[in-house]
Structure 1
Amino acid sequence: MEELPRGSHFQRLDQARVRRSTAELQTWIRDRFPDRTLWEVCGELGALVDEVALRDGLNQRRIRAARMLSRLAVVLVVAFLTGTVGLAVLDLVRGGQFQAVDFLPLLETIINTSVFGGLAVLFLLAVPERMERARILRVLHRLRSLAHVIDMHQLTKIPGRDELASADLGAYLEQCSEMLSLVGKTAALFAEDTTDGDVLDAVEGIEALTSDMARKVWQKIAIIQPD
C-alpha cells in the first residue's frame, strides 16, 4: 500500500468542509421541515464550527499578545533576580576578607531566588496556553449542550405517535443523526492541533456522547423502516 505523504489533507479534518456540510444540512432541513426549529439548531452548530476559525482571528491575536507579554515579563523577572544575586555577591566582595561560612547567606539567596524565579517563569509562560484552553473548553461545553438539544428534538418523535408521516419522520430522524455526527466532527476539529489532556478528554467525551445518541436514533429509524 502506498504511504500517504506527510502533511496529506487526508490526515486532517477540514474546517471549511465541516462548515459546508453543516450549511447544506441546515438548508435541507429548512426546505423539508420549515415549520420545525431543527434547522435553527443546525444554524447554531454552524456558528460553533466558525469558532474554530477564531484561531486565526481576534482570539488568536489576543493569545499572541498574551504570549509576547508573558515573555517580556519573564525577561523582567530574570533580570530582576539576576540583579538581586549580583547585589548579594557585590556586598560580599565589598566586605573584604571573608571565610567559607560567609558564603552561606549568598548560597541561600541564590537557591531561594532560583526556586521562586523558576516558579514565576513557569507561571508566566503557561498563561497563554491556559487562556486558549479555557476558550476551547467553553466552546466544547456549548457543543455538549447542543448535542442534548438535538437529542431532545428526536426524543419526542415516537414512531406511530408523532404527527409526521413515516417517511417524513424517518427523514427527520436521519437529519438528527447527521447533525449529531457533525457535532462530534466539530469537537474533533479542536483536537487537531493540541496535546492538552483536558481538551482531548472533553473531545473524546463529546464524540462518545453523540455516537451513543445517534445509535438510539437509528434504533427508531429501524422500527420505522424494518426493511
Structure 2
Amino acid sequence: MPRGELKSEPIHETIVKLNARIESRFPGSGLGEVGQTLLNLAAVNDEVIAKARRPIWWLRVLIACGVLALLVTATWAAFQMIRIATGESPSIPDLLQGVDAAVNEIILLGLALVFMTSMETRFKRRQSLSILHRLRGLAHVVDMHQLTKDPEFSLRPDNSASETEKPPLDRFQLERYLDYCSEMLALTSKLAALHLTATQDPVVLSVINEIEALVTGLTRKIWQKIIILQ
C-alpha cells in the first residue's frame, strides 16, 4: 500500500490504546464496552474491505463465457446475413427466421451480460453498506453516552446530587470522558473512510460522506461541552 494512503493497522492500534485509557480511567464503564464493540467492528470492516479488493473469479468466468457466446451468436448471424445478400441460401424465409431468432438470442445474452457485470458491484456494495450502517449506528451509541453528561453537573456538583444516582464526574473526569467520546467518533469515521481504498462505488461513497458529516456534527456538540468546562 503506498505511503500517504489510509491504513487499517494504525487505526486498530489507536482503538486498542483508547480502550486501555478508558478502562484505566473509567473501569467497567459502558463507554469501554462501546470501545470493545468498535474494535470488533474494525476486524469485520477489514474483512469486508479485503473481499471488496478481491475479484469474484467465478462470476468473471461466467461473464467471459457469456461474452464468448454473444460473439459466436453475432458471428453466426452475420454469416447468415451474408448468405442472404449473396443469394446462396436456398430458402430465404427460413434464413430470415433464423436471423430473427439469432437477434433475439443476442438481445437476451446482452441483457444477461449487463446483469452479470453489475452483479459483482452490487454484491460487494451490499457487504460494504452492511458494515457502514453498523458503524453509523455505533456513532449514535457514542452520542447517547455523551448526551447525558451535562457540564453543569460537574461545575455545580451540589445541584446534581438529587438528580443522579451516581455521583457526577468532576470537571477533569468529564473532560476526559467527552474527549474519549470525540476520539471514538473520529476512529469510527476513519474506519468508514477505509472503504475509499477498495471501491469507487458512488452509493458506498455517498454513505461514507454521510457518516463523516454525522461524526462532524456529533463531535461539534461534544466540543461545545468541553469548551464550557474549560
Residue 159 to residue 55, structure 1, CA distance change in 2 (3 Å): closer
User: Counterpart amino acid of 2:98?
Assistant: L
Query: Is the alpha carbon distance of 1:155 and 1:16 closer, same or farther for their aligned partners in structure 2, counting shifts above 3 Å?
Result: same
Give the aligned partner of residue 189 of structure 1: 194
Q: Answer whether contact 2:45 2:131 (CA < 8 A) is retained.
A: no
Q: Which runs of 5+ in 1 are unaligned?
A: 1-6
Q: Which moved more, 1:105-114 or 1:195-204?
A: 105-114
How big is the shift at 1:72? 3.2
Structure 2, unaligned runs of 5 or more: 155-167
Counterpart pick for 1:9 among 3, 11, 14: 3
Q: Which amino acid aligns with 1:105?
A: Q
Aligned to 1:120: 112
- CA shift at 1:152, angstroms? 0.1
Q: Which residue of 1 aligns with 2:147?
A: 155
Partner AA of 1:70 in structure 2: L
TM-score for both structures, normalised by structure 2: 0.80
What is the count of residue pairs matched by the alignment?
A: 211
1:130 corresponds, among 119, 122, 126, to: 122
Contact 1:85 1:110 in 2 (8 A): no
RMSD value over aligned CA atoms? Answer: 2.9
Residues 66, 109 of structure 2: 8 Å contact kept: yes
User: CA contact under 8 A between 2:48 and 2:128: conserved in structure 1?
Assistant: no
Aligned-partner Cα distance in 2 for 1:185–1:78: 40
- Partners of 1:184 and 1:77 lie apart in 2 by 40
TM-score by length of 1: 0.81
Which segment drifts farther, 154-163 or 102-111? 102-111
Q: Distance in 1 between matches of 2:114 and 2:178?
A: 50
The runs of at least 4 consecutive aligned structure 1 residues that moved more than 6 Å come to none
* Corresponding letter in the other structure for 1:9: R
Identical columns (%): 34
Contact preservation (8 Å) 2:12, 2:39: yes
From 178, 181, 190, the counterpart of 1:173:
178
Instruction: Report deviation, 1:86.
Output: 4.6
Distance 1:80 1:14 in 2: 42
